[in-house]
Amino acid sequence: MNTLGYHYVVEASGCDPKVLEDAKELKRIMLEAAKIGEMEVRSTYFYKFSPRGVSGMLIVSESHISIHTWPEKGYAAVDVYTCDTDSKPEKALEYILKQIGADYAHITEIERGIEDEDGTYTHAILSWDEEPREEAKIK
């Protein structure tokens, strides 16, 4: 089965509020994640909301990486989408979750652009839970 891309949609909980409200730090984290994930950054945009919260986007040659934060809830919504089979979106995501201090992450992987025999496209979905801080302690 041929696919055109992998899209990771993540609900990250128990994150460090100080990191989640720091647009400069989030940009640094996301740029490093792109590097770790072997993705080429084309453009970035980060916006700090008042009083709290940040939305940030990296446009990469392979697609995008985005984050939207709610520091007061310790919550971040993270997306990593790639249409390049050589990039490592899982590595990028793992780095982001560790850097924002996520205690828990619900991850949905969407295999996108699966071509059916009739020339139409569909997707497949797989979801799982992780506890990034606990996994870091084990390693």
User: Looking at the DSSP assignment, which residues form a beta bridge with residue 114?
Assistant: 122
Catalytic annotation on 15?
A: no
63 is catalytic: yes
CA angle 64, 68, 72 (to 5 degrees): 160
Question: What whole-number distance in Å separates Cα of residue 112 and Cα of residue 114?
Answer: 6
Q: Within 13 Å, how many C-alpha atoms sit on residue 65's CB side? A: 34
Q: Which one is catalytic: 63, 66, 106, 127?
A: 63
Which residue among 83, 87, 106, 123 is the active-site one? 83
68 is catalytic: yes
What pairing do the DSSP bridges indicate for beta strands 75-82 and 121-130? unpaired
Alpha-carbon distance 139 to 58, whole Å? 29
Q: Which active-site residues does the annotation give?
A: 63, 68, 83
